[in-house]
Structure 1
Amino acid sequence: MTEKIGEHRLPEIADVVVVGAGPAGAVMTKAFAEAGMSVVCLDQGDWPDYSTSRSASPERALLGGNEWSPLSNVRKGPGDYPIDEDDADISALLWNGVGGSAMLYAAQWQRNMPSDFRVRSLDGVADDWPISYEDLLPYYAQAERDFAIAGLNGDPAVPGADQYPMAATPIGEAGRRMGKAHNSLGWHWWPGANGIATREYGRLKPSVHRGACFLGCGDQAKSTVDVTHWPDICRHRNAWLLTRATVARVETNSSGRATGVIYFDSKGVERQQKANLVVLAANGVGTPRLLLMSANSQHPDGLANASGLVGKRLMMHPYSAVVGTFDDEIGTMQGAYGHLLYSLEFYETDESRGFVRGAKWGLMPTGGPMEMTRSFPWGDNRELWGARFNETIRERLNHSATWGIIAEDLPEEHNRVELSSTLVDEHGLPAPKIVYETSENSRRLLAFHVERAKESFLAAGAKQITVAPHIRNTGWHLLGTTKMGSSPEDSVVDHTGRAHTVPNLYIVDGSTWPTSAGVNPTATVVAMALRTAELITSGNAATGSKDLEGATA
């Protein structure tokens, strides 16, 4: 067990225990610590070792992959658990450790759109959220300051996005070319907002454009909470972070209230951390897994599962990639790997298209020589291998860019996370099993957007277009498995993230989302965590002050 925060003894009963040290867990821990409350954060992984990413070394593309693979079944690092995906057509991509899955994000920062909170009202499907875009506006702005987001203010498609703390990542020749094409088509585009520093900001250093964002940014230019948040939390003697601490279950008492967690330390010793309040931030797979593992005589179907929805309604954002290759160089061999620009032209529902909802496009560089051979974003690559191999690499390298298409994924109860009956982790705990099938609506949506993205590249003068219509290893966004709503009969948590049936248990990751939106989720996950933290620490959350008896605030 590693204590990275505080060398003093853990409290016997903490005011709060937080499970997960990613963006949401860090936001919550920081807020509680600053409010003077004793808070213990547990993460089953460890601190990132940037030396293994080899981001500054020529051999990065060859040797930096396994330790930083987004697939826990490949990575098998400290705290990773196996995942049963035999019945899933998209693989879950996640990271266990300080920084959470954002350690592997491309740092594309996108707010949800106002319509994303009103899908039932606008389109007659799925559910409305119990909160609105307007409710999150001040927290979006705070998140963008706290995470040092680089963007261009004033996109008319995104209300209120006008307080970015630093200038946008340069869009380069690829961005200029595609922006000009969209102008000619009359389509929306805007320079991308990214959690990638363009100047010094706190502990962040300006990006040197290695294009290594997915493998861990050893230059400390990417906004991840191991850089932006945890060093500040370290200054508080009332906060602890325990790494390699695998939480096995949340404990409850006879009245149904959470009393803390049971966890295994790095040596496999079972330990207990008692707390007045329990906060889960373990992602859309880890959180429902933990709730299901916490079943007891009072909660035989899993903790907080009176609705029967824990683990159900999994949404994973089906993803397609369209690559345009140009005759001349467009500067995409290096650079920040966030989105150079984005388009929301086809984001809202148009019933004439034969499906509901839409998608965000993000224009990304294609990277270095090895990236020219990958299945992402080139698909099956059948035309690559053979007599024209070298020629094809030369045609692609520094001559190509990708539209990454993130499709809104509607909630369906048969898409789910459950406990595996065959796989266990190193502590003998059941692994999660993912059952997921891409819906017909998503397939139609992606097919439409692929055709429009091809039009975009043609308008920009691309000589060749390559389509990867459905890529398996793209489940970066794990949403919906502990639904937020107003009633305990049809949801797991309320509008603050408080469990309906366990009043001192909160969930603050993307698992609470009633619908998935069609954009990168980190901005909204963080904004919602900031809102929940403020409601709890100010005494305005639904639980009231009883749950924080003994708090030092």
Structure 2
Amino acid sequence: MAETIDVVIVGAGPAGAVAAKEFTDHGYRVVCLEQGDWPDYAKARSGHADFELGARKHWNWDPNVRRGFGDYPVDDRESDITALMYAGVGGASVIYAAHWERFVPADFRTRMMDGVGDDWPYSYWDLEPYYTEIEQQFGISGFGGDTSFPAAEDPPLPPVPLNKVGRRGAEAMHELGWHWWPGTNAIATRDYGPLHVCGQRTACPFGCPTGAKGSVDRTHWRGLVAAGLELRAGVTVEQVLTDRGRACGVVYVDESGSHHQLRANVVILAANALGTPRILLNSADGSGIANSTDLVGRRLMMHPFGNAIGLFDEDMESWRGPFGQYLHSLQFYETDLSRGFVRGAKWELMPAGGPLTAMLPGVWGDEPVWGPRFTSVLRERFGRAAFWGVICEDLPDPGNRVTISADTDARGVPGVSISYRISANSEAMMEWNLARIGEVLEVMGARETIFNSHLRGTGWHLLGTTVMGDDPAGSVVDQWGRCHDVENLFVIDGSTFPTASGVNPTATIAAAALRSIRHLIAQRADVRVSA
């Protein structure tokens, strides 16, 4: 009979990395399976003339455009937003902009506070110590004392520089009397463990060339593998195996197309809110598992995103800085019904990027990019723009969902289809917040403002498709990520979120994963420690 390991983890993104570290630290034999490969930072070309061209190929956020090793097809024709993700060791942290935000206490109580969504089965205060610990693991930079959050331990590193754009934005927010705070980012502002100080090249999502960004291929996996953890990259998990109601391992397909079984006492899914339901729905030879409620794949949330671009007569040096956030604002984050919607949005002030970004069609208004004004338009935009982003909370809707598609990946495993519509509540939220940002840009001195509501290619935050809850009749997993239908099968990624909040979710995904795995290890009933 094949050897049975203690734990198999599916997915080498932030949640999988946090889980692997915790299990390894406690002496368990762990194997992690990742469908992509290790990032190739030789293709990180910041500082070279072809940087932006290569960035939008090798590091493209859209798997249907990138078509990299390990990517699977995502049919998004019935979605208002394109789902963005990265198949590889490090997962989405390889391409995220490293904005780091905790949820606020009210995010866990939207039903109680505002009569919408669902309350989480635990509170901010249950998660708070795990936030603090995770921030140490990821090398978070920021400035303590943000008045929008409860008192907490300061991040381990000082904040990224505000630079010229950030200072101008901070002055405008101060003049208006609105909340702002230096941005918290998973970006090292001095050497920290395996991370190096940020070079401020606005290259964070495109293969950070200096190794400053807290992506888990750097912060976690390299050290874990060097210490002996087995990470099998380039393999696609097809389904979870079950025996008499318990998970007993997984079936995966290697690069050659061969199928393998890996037996384990506990199975951990951390494949994101598309990949995790993909595996669950494809299990039992396509009949699906852990889905007695028909909720697997439902309640997909993707954070509608828009921006307002201010153009200035003077050089704002907006090509400079981290591609994280100079500063953020939660001024309009809590519900105020007089605005015409419930819940709220986060604002983030960011650099405008390089010359190719300055000429992206569909972002800068209706003026043609190519033509006699090409060089003058480039001069007007490059370095002279400020980008304010708006992240809107979207509430769970069972009709927004992930299903198995007829298309298959290179190894013959089915991809997914997504159906997603932006709600009227999120539409109203976006328009109201962009109008307020217009006021900020006017105070900042912008000569022109361009508004982009609900940009399509912005589905970085994939949440909600295996919802957690205390009631097995209305949820897929319990508060610890344990599947109600399969007792030793756990989900620890953002798919478990009952609601989405209106902020970047990686901090909460990682903290919740650590909380879940700590609890599982404390129980010790389902996991045997290898000798």
TM tier, shorter chain? over 0.9
Secondary structure, counterpart of 1:248 in structure 2: strand
- For residue 433 of structure 2, give the secondary structure of its aligned residue in structure 1: helix
1:66-115: CA deviation from partner (whole Å, max 9, x where unpaired): 11111111111111111111111110000011000111100000001111
Which amino acid counterpart does residue 291 of structure 1 have in structure 2?
L
Residue 457 of structure 1 aligns to a residue whose secondary structure is helix
Residue deviations 1:147-191 (CA, integer Å, cap 9, x gap): 000100110111134321111000111111111111111100000
Q: Which residues of 2 match residues 390-401 of structure 1 at below 5 A?
A: 390-401=375-386
Alignment check: 8 A CA contact 1:11 1:38 kept = no
> Could you tell me how far apart the structure 1 residues matched to 2:296 and 2:411 are?
23
Deviation sequence 1:506-549 (CA, Å, 0-9, x none):
1011000000000000000010011112111222xxxxx3311x
Q: Partners of 1:50 and 1:522 in 2: how far apart?
A: 22
Question: Size of the alignment, in residue pairs?
Answer: 531
* Overall identity of the aligned pairs, in %: 49
Which residue of 2 is the match for residue 245 of structure 1?
235
Quote the residue 1:291 is aligned against.
280
Q: Does 1:423 align with 2:407?
A: yes
Aligned equivalent of 1:334, options 320, 338, 347: 320
* Residue 198 of structure 1: aligned partner: 189
Give distance in 1, aligned partners of 2:17 and 2:240.
Answer: 19
122-131 vs 161-170, greater mean Cα deviation = 161-170
The answer as to 2:525 corresponding to 1:546 is yes
Q: Which amino acid aligns with 2:135?
A: E
* Equivalent runs, 1:47-58 vs 2, <5 Å: 47-58=38-49
Q: Could you say which residue in structure 1 is the equivalent of 2:354?
A: 368
User: 1:143-162 maps to which residues of 2 (within 5 A)?
Assistant: 143-162=134-153
Task: Calculate the TM-score normalised by the size of structure 1.
Answer: 0.94
Find the aligned partners of 2:415 and 2:515 in 1 and give their Cα distance: 31
Please state how far the C-alpha of 1:55 moved relative to its aligned partner.
Answer: 2.2
> CA–CA distance in 2 between the matches of 1:86 and 1:505?
32
1:11 & 1:243 partners in 2: Cα distance?
21
Deviation at 1:65, TM superposition (A): 1.7
Aligned to 1:273: 262
Does residue 103 in structure 1 map to residue 94 in structure 2?
yes
Deviation string 1:31-51 (CA, Å, 9 cap, x unpaired) is 111110111000000000011
Give the unaligned 5+ runs of structure 2: none
- Report the 3-state secondary structure (helix = DSSP H, G, I; strand = E; otherwise coil) of the residue aligned with 1:258: strand
1:408 aligns with 2:406: no
Correspondence 1:182 to 2:173:
yes
SS at match of 1:518: coil
Q: Is 2:342 the counterpart of 1:356?
A: yes
Q: Could you tell me how far 1:241 is from its partner in structure 2?
A: 0.3
1:503 aligns with 2:521: no
Among 503, 518, 527, the residue aligned to 1:534 = 518
Structure 1 residues 121-132: aligned runs within 5 Å: 121-132=112-123
Return the letter of the residue paired with 1:438.
Answer: I
Deviations 1:108-138 (A, max 9, x none): 0000111100000011011000011101111
Is the CA contact (8 Å cut-off) linking 1:498 and 1:507 kept in structure 2?
A: yes
Displacement of 1:334: 2.1
Structure-2 change in CA distance of 1:11 and 1:375 (3 Å): farther
**Alignment correspondent of 2:469:** 485
What's 1:7 paired with? Answer: none
Kindly state the Cα deviation for residue 387 of structure 1 after the two structures are TM-superposed. Answer: 3.3
**Matches of 1:64 and 1:345, distance apart in 2:** 34
Q: State the alpha-carbon separation in 2 of the partners of residues 104 and 381 from structure 1.
A: 29
Query: How many Å separate the matches in 1 of 2:349 and 2:58?
Result: 27
For the residues of structure 2 that align with 1:119 and 1:232, how far apart are their CA atoms?
Answer: 39
1:379 touches 1:471 (CA, 8 Å); kept in 2? no
1:318 maps to a residue whose letter is P
1:382 maps onto 2:364 in alignment: no
Distance in 2 separating the partners of 1:302 and 1:220: 40
Structure 1 regions of 5+ residues with no counterpart? 1-9, 540-544
| Matched-pair contact (CA < 8 Å) for 1:344–1:359 | yes
Q: State the match for 2:436 in structure 1.
A: 452
Q: Contact 2:477–2:496 at 8 Å: present in 1 too?
A: yes
Q: Which amino acid aligns with 2:505?
A: P
Choose 81-90 or 52-61, whichever is displaced more.
Answer: 52-61
Displacement after TM superposition at 1:380 (Å): 4.9
Deviation, 1:402, is 0.5
Code of the residue aligned with 1:503 in structure 2: it is E
1:88 to 50, 54, 79: 79
Match of 2:17 in 1: 26
Q: CA RMSD in A?
A: 1.5
Equivalents in 1 of 2:419, 2:350: separation in Å?
30
CA distance in 1, matches of 2:437, 2:307: 9
Query: What TM-score, normalized by structure 2, do the two folds share?
Result: 0.98
The answer to whether the 8 A contact 1:155-1:190 is kept is yes
CA contact under 8 A between 1:61 and 1:370: conserved in structure 2?
yes
> Does the Cα contact within 8 Å between 1:53 and 1:65 map onto a contact in 2?
no
SS of equivalent residue, structure 1 residue 177: helix
Which secondary structure does the structure 2 equivalent of 1:529 belong to? helix
Give the drift of 1:56: 3.3
Name the CA distance, whole Å, in 1 between partners of 2:360 and 2:21: 39
Distance in 2 between the 1:439 and 1:501 partners? 31
Question: Distance between the aligned counterparts of 1:274 and 1:301, measured in 2?
Answer: 20
> How many angstroms does 1:214 deviate by?
1.5
